[in-house]
């Protein structure tokens, strides 16, 4: 069992690795990106609000994200552990998560930073071909990452929760390194 966060730039492989870890540990993979894309596909109110931010590479506002995360962590299947992917994406979201975990008497085990250079993440995302994977949006997402998400690395490091893993390797090697980090 583990309660772990995967941090890292867009395209670093958070979704890929979170899915593998969730299967290995038999716990839910909670991806705010997947939850948002599902809401957009189902044309829910939340999805309609989120779409323009996602298409432009900006963060969806906290008022939309936080309730969604609270509801998901409150589900019975999340009691036994989880892998959070794409959340938190800013220091304000990290602070919210700390308070929420306190409220529901859960403790974060580890935040893992998947370290991958910019040129590699850009070529991966162009190869992936998702709706928000065009060059302009990718450039904006990297800017947003540096400005708003990278500070969460210091946030967890200051709390002795951070481990960095080299994500610029074969997918299986990255999974093995993540398992070792979770076990440590």
Residues labelled as active-site residues = 14, 89, 128, 130, 141
Q: Which residues contact 107 (CB under 8 A, 6 or more apart)?
A: 3, 101
Asked if 72 interacts with ligand B4P (CB under 6 A), we say no
Binds ligand B4P (CB under 6 A): choice among 59, 83, 110, 181? 59
Peptide bond preceding 100: is omega within 30 degrees of 0, i.e. cis? Answer: no
Give the binding range for ligand B4P (CB under 6 A) out of 41-49, 71-79, 125-133, 154-162. 125-133
Give the binding range for ligand B4P (CB under 6 A) out of 22-30, 53-61, 98-106, 154-162. 53-61
3-state class of 166 per DSSP? strand
Binds ligand B4P (CB under 6 A): choice among 4, 32, 113, 152? 32
Asked if 141 interacts with ligand B4P (CB under 6 A), we say yes
Question: For the chain, what is the largest distance between any 2 Cα atoms, rounded to a whole number of angstroms?
Answer: 42
Alpha-helical (H) ranges within 45-168 are 45-56, 62-73, 91-103, 118-128, 135-144, 151-158
Residue 53, strand partner residues: none
The CB-of-124 to ligand B4P minimum distance in angstroms stands at: 3
Binds ligand B4P (CB under 6 A): choice among 3, 14, 29, 51? 14
Provide the token pair at 150: 């990278």
Binds ligand B4P (CB under 6 A): choice among 7, 54, 177, 178? 54
Give the up-direction half-sphere exposure of residue 181: CA atoms within 13 A in the CB hemisphere: 24
Q: List residues near ligand B4P by CB under 6 A.
A: 8, 10-16, 32-33, 36, 53-54, 57-60, 65, 86-87, 89, 93, 124-125, 127-128, 141, 169, 171, 174
């Amino acid at each position: 069992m583990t309660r772990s966060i995967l941090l890292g730039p867009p395209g670093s492989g958070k979704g890929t690795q979170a899915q593998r870890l969730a299967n290995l540990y038999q716990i839910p993979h909670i991806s705010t990106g997947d939850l948002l894309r599902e809401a957009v596909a189902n044309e829910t109110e939340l999805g309609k609000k989120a779409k323009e931010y996602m298409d432009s590479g900006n963060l969806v506002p906290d008022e939309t994200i936080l309730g969604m995360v609270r509801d998901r962590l409150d589900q019975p299947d999340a009691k036994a552990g989880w892998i959070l992917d794409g959340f938190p994406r800013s220091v304000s979201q990290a602070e919210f998560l700390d308070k929420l975990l306190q409220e529901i008497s859960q403790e974060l085990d580890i935040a893992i930073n998947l370290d991958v250079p910019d040129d590699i993440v850009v070529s991966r995302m162009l190869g992936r071909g998702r709706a928000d994977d065009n060059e302009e949006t990718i450039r904006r997402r990297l800017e947003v990452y540096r400005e708003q998400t990278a500070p969460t690395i210091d946030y967890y490091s200051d709390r002795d929760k951070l481990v960095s893993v080299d994500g610029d390797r074969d997918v299986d090697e990255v999974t093995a390194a993540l398992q070792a980090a979770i076990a440590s």
